[in-house]
């Protein structure tokens, strides 16, 4: 086992180049056994009720296990192969069973209760007191009070939920990977950007076929939907994307039964723990107090956004009819007509903007922003990675100390889950052995470089990169020495998006955009005139965009605020009802959006998708502090990269992690409770905008 890279000391970086699927099961099995022994030792009632006797040894053992499992999960998501998937799936029930066993361990629960009641608790730091309090809460929510058949059933539910979520994710990945449309008539590709066509040509050549291979990965799908002149091509791509992992495709990849299973299991889990719905259970660990509060919040946003969305749609239909001679606006026309309208109104195209955002320059510009705001430097490292396109970066303090390591993997490819996300390999920890610095992954799915040129990012890609960098900084810039209070361990789910959405705002600031840009041919910065058009278009169709997010969030809350599970027919009917209430756009009856909604059914956002809008209120208000800090400056000198405010954001939000409730951290930064006004203003939804 000494040769297994997954069992290396947690303080060492993983040798990703050496990790093989065969390493996963032996490592996980061994580390679970070690962690079980540590739990049993910590549960010994003869131990002194001290942090050092109970909590520290648990962290030693569990830290090794969760680091290895995090690595396995990450590799399963970014370089998925049959062998890796098999190894991961073989371990999933073992890890789930162990996690459930710990949550149900009455002896360990009793130790935490003794620690809470002891004088030693009073002597602990506030951070460690909070960790003990959260642990006691989590024991209760993990079913520790259950007995007999209920305890056994809870363990079964936990295992079945984990298996179903993993299978849901696999079905989405496999459907996307298996679907392709081969085009041999080049005329059908008219309007599609040259780099996308080249990528499609290369994909076909790699398969040994003539023509062009179109796929459902975003770097291909979105440009086709926005720019292809061939309406039938857009329709074919739209239907394939809209029916991913549904009954309209391969039966073995249909997620219908898994959605039904997950909703039933979640409702049953909630009832076992004494809650009337899964939403009520989940909200025990959130800023929001109840499902009613969440739905009221979402409906308030919908009411404010709907007049703007109706205006957006009326303008779109009028433009399609009067300018593009399209009397009927079909769902596969929306992205295409929207792009034409935006070009006509603001006199620029996404394709034009993209030429200025070369990936190396965007990364350098992002690092400059990090330096200005948080006084850190990102330096490329030669640490081994899992793929030639991934790279490691060291995060350095102003003194040159290594604060952590960030791995970035930016391009879409076969065998890689779609979307963008950040995950933590290990958290910051200070122990007798010294300081363990955090390690994080930042994953995106951008278009890869073509023809020897650097990768080109759309402005939306740039926003995505900044968003994910905010998540990464939340763990990498932590100054909390106990992993139990790390950001990803204990920040309330509906506040976890605050740093990420906050970072998006800088993508509309002139000094930032200028530093991010370098034309792929000339190397010139983005012209000010083009930037002004980009900013003018910032809230283009913001009403429809707001309603889209509210629709997803309200659907999520409704299906999870039920006393029992739902059939797939009821799920789809509920989505229709939500759309009738808040939407202005209505897809075809055969649309199967829930079947690929991995956030809800495979990504931990079940009964939590509202968090994006909830945290957006916080992030917009937090960014308003930067606007206020420079409001006296002339527009030509206005630069919201305000170091003083950045340091306060670092100290009160990022560095503090989950050491206190998120509401307290926000108030410490802003000096008051959050306001909805900045979000409405930033989104162009203030009453004066109509």
Contact 264, 252 (CB under 8 A): no
Tell me if 212 sits within 8 A of 182, measured CB to CB. Answer: yes
Report how far residue 508's alpha carbon sits from residue 538's, in angstroms, rounded to the nearest whole number: 8
Q: What angle do CA 77, 68, 482 make, to 5 degrees?
A: 110
Residues 393-427 have pLDDT tens digits of: 999 999 999 999 999 999 999 999 999 999 999 99
- Residue pair 76/92 in contact by the 8 Å Cβ criterion: no
Sign of the four-CA dihedral 241, 616, 610, 651? positive
φ/ψ of 588, rounded to 5, equals -65, 160
For 539-572, write each residue's pLDDT tens digit.
Answer: 999 999 999 999 999 999 999 999 999 999 999 9
Query: 5-145 with 359-542+611-689: one CATH topology?
Result: no
Q: Phi and psi dihedrals of 222, rounded to 5?
A: -65, -45
Domain 359-542+611-689 architecture: Orthogonal Bundle (1.10)
pLDDT at 633 over 90: no
pLDDT tens per residue across span 210-237 = 999 999 999 999 999 999 999 999 999 9
Is residue 324 exposed (0-12), middle (13-18) or buried (19+ Cβ within 10 Å)? Answer: middle
* Predicted pLDDT at 632: 82
Catalytic, 468? Answer yes
Q: What is the mean pLDDT of residues 442-464?
A: 96
Closest among 420, 431, 366 to 393, alpha carbons compared: 366
At 180 the pLDDT is: 98
Q: What average pLDDT does the segment 454-475 reach?
A: 98
> Does residue 1 carry a pLDDT above 50?
no
Smallest CA-to-CA distance from 362 within 297, 443, 459, 280 is with: 459
Q: Around Cβ 562, how many Cβ atoms within 10 Å?
A: 19
- Candidates 675, 659, 664, 661; CA nearest to 625 is 675
Query: Which CATH fold would you assign to the domain 5-145?
Result: Glutathione S-transferase Yfyf (Class Pi); Chain A, domain 2 (1.20.1050)
DSSP 170-220: HHHHHHHHH--EEE--GGGGTTS-HHHHHHHHHHHHHTT-SSEEE-SSHHH
Residue 15 pLDDT greater than 50, yes or no: yes
* Domain boundary assignment for the chain: 5-145, 179-243, 359-542+611-689
How far is Cα 581 from Cα 573, in angstroms, rounded to an integer?
13
Are 316 and 339 contacting, i.e. CB atoms less than 8 angstroms apart? no
Q: What is the pLDDT of residues 22-55, one digit of tens each?
A: 999 999 999 999 999 999 999 999 999 999 999 9
326-374: pLDDT as tens digits = 999 999 999 999 999 999 999 999 999 999 999 999 999 999 999 999 9
Q: Is 157 helix (H, G, I), strand (E, B) or coil?
A: helix
Rounded Cα–Cα distance for residues 591 and 86 (Å): 31
pLDDT band, residue 2 (cuts 50/70/90): low
What share of the chain in percent tops pLDDT 70? 99
| Contact between residue 35 and residue 99 where contact means Cβ atoms under 8 Å apart | no
Total count of residues recorded for the chain: 690
β-strand 402-411 against 421-426: which pairing, if any? unpaired
Is the pLDDT assigned to residue 690 strictly greater than 60?
Answer: no
Q: In the predicted model, what is the mean pLDDT of the chain?
A: 96
What proportion of the chain, given as a percentage, has pLDDT over 90? 97
Q: Could you give the CA distance from residue 442 to residue 452 in angstroms, rounded to a whole number?
A: 24
Residue 527 above 80 pLDDT?
yes
Average pLDDT over residues 241-257: 98
Question: CB burial class (10 A; 0-12, 13-18, 19+) of residue 482?
Answer: buried
State the average pLDDT over residues 73-97: 98
187-220 residues labelled b (16+ CB within 10 A) or e (exposed) = ebbebbbebbbebbbebbeeeeeebbbbbbbbbb
pLDDT in tens, 148-191: 999 999 999 999 999 999 999 999 999 999 999 999 999 999 99
| Distance separating the N- and C-terminal Cα atoms of the chain | 66
In whole angstroms, what is the distance from residue 435 CA to residue 426 CA?
12
- Structural Rg of the chain based on CA atoms: 25
**Which one from 161, 351, 468, 497 is the annotated catalytic residue?**
468
651 CB burial (10 A radius; 0-12, 13-18, 19+): middle
The pLDDT tens digits for 664-689 are: 999 999 999 999 999 999 999 986 55
Distance CA 365, CA 397 (A): 18
DSSP state for residue 449 in the 8-state scheme:
P
Average pLDDT over residues 93-106: 97
The first and second tokens of residue 386, run together, are: 């899992």
Coil, strand or helix at 659:
coil
Under 8 Å between Cβ of 508 and 538: yes
Q: What is the pLDDT of residues 565-621, one digit of tens each?
A: 999 999 999 999 999 999 999 999 999 999 999 999 999 999 999 999 999 999 999
Closest by CA position to 410, among listed 433, 426, 384, 387: 387
Tokens 């073509």, located at residue: 450
| φ, ψ dihedrals at 391, nearest 5° | -145, 155
Cβ(389)–Cβ(448) below 8 Å: yes
Q: Does the global pTM surpass 0.75?
A: yes
What single DSSP character describes residue 358? B
Q: Is the pLDDT of residue 73 over 50?
A: yes
């Amino acid at each position: 086992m000494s040769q297994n890279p997954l069992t290396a000391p947690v303080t060492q970086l993983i040798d990703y180049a050496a990790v093989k699927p065969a390493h996963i099961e032996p490592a996980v099995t061994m580390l679970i056994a070690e962690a079980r022994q540590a739990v049993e030792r910590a549960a010994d009632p003869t131990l002194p009720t001290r942090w050092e006797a109970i909590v520290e040894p648990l962290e030693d053992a569990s830290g090794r296990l969760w680091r290895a499992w995090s690595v396995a999960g990450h590799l399963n998501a970014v370089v998925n192969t049959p062998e890796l998937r098999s190894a991961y799936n073989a371990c999933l029930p073992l890890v789930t069973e162990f996690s459930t066993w710990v949550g149900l361990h009455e002896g360990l629960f009793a130790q935490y209760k003794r620690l809470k009641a002891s004088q030693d608790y009073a002597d602990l730091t506030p951070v460690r007191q909070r960790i003990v309090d959260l642990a006691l809460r989590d024991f209760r929510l993990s079913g520790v009070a259950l007995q007999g058949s209920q305890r056994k059933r809870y363990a079964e539910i936990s295992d079945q939920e984990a298996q179903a979520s993993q299978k849901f994710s696999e079905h989405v990945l496999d459907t996307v990977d298996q679907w392709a449309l081969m085009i041999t008539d080049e005329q059908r590709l008219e309007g599609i950007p040259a780099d996308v066509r080249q990528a499609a040509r290369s994909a076909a050549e790699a398969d040994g076929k003539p023509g062009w291979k179109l796929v459902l990965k975003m770097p291909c799908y979105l440009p086709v939907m926005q720019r292809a002149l061939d309406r039938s091509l857009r329709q074919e791509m739209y239907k394939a994307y809209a029916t991913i992992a549904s009954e309209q495709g391969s039966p073995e990849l249909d997620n219908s039964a898994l959605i039904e299973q997950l909703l039933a299991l979640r409702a049953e889990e909630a009832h076992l723990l004494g809650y009337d719905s899964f939403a009520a259970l989940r909200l025990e660990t959130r800023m929001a107090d109840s499902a009613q509060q969440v739905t009221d919040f979402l409906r308030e946003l919908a009411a404010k956004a709907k007049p703007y969305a109706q205006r957006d749609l009326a303008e779109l239909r009028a433009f399609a009819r009067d300018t593009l001679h399209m009397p009927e606006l079909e769902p596969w026309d929306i992205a295409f007509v929207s792009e034409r309208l935006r070009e006509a109104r603001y006199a620029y195209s996404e394709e034009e903007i993209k030429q200025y955002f070369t990936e190396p320059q965007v990364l350098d510009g992002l690092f400059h922003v990090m330096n200005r705001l948080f006084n850190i430097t990102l330096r490329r490292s030669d640490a081994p990675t899992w793929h030639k396109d991934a790279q490691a970066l060291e995060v350095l303090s102003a003194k040159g100390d290594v604060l952590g390591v960030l791995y970035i993997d930016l391009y879409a490819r076969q065998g890689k889950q779609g979307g963008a996300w950040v995950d933590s390999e290990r958290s910051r920890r200070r122990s007798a052995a010294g300081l363990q610095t955090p390690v994080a992954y930042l994953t995106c799915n951008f278009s890869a470089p073509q023809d020897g040129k650097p990768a080109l990012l759309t402005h939306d890609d740039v926003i995505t990169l900044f968003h994910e960098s905010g998540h990464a900084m939340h763990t990498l810039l932590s100054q909390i020495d106990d992993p139990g209070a790390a950001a990803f361990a204990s920040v309330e789910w509906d506040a976890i998006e605050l740093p990420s959405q906050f970072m998006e705002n800088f993508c509309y600031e002139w000094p930032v955009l200028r530093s991010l840009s370098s034309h792929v041919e000339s190397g010139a910065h983005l012209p000010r005139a083009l930037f002004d058009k980009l900013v003018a278009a910032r809230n283009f169709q913001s009403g429809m965009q707001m309603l889209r997010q509210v629709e997803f969030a309200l659907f999520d809350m409704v299906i999870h605020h039920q006393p029992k599970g739902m059939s797939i027919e009821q799920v789809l009917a509920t989505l229709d009802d939500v759309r009738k209430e808040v939407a202005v756009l209505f897809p075809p009856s055969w649309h199967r959006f829930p079947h690929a909604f991995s956030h809800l059914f495979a990504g931990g956002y079940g009964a939590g998708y509202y968090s994006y809008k909830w945290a957006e209120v916080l992030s917009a208000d937090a960014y308003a502090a930067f606007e206020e800090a420079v409001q006296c400056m002339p527009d030509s000198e206005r630069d919201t990269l305000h170091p003083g405010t950045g340091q306060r954001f670092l100290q009160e939000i990022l560095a503090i992690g989950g050491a206190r409730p998120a509401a307290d951290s926000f108030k410490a930064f802003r000096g008051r409770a959050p306001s909805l006004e900045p979000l409405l203003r930033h989104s162009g939804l203030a009453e004066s905008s109509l």
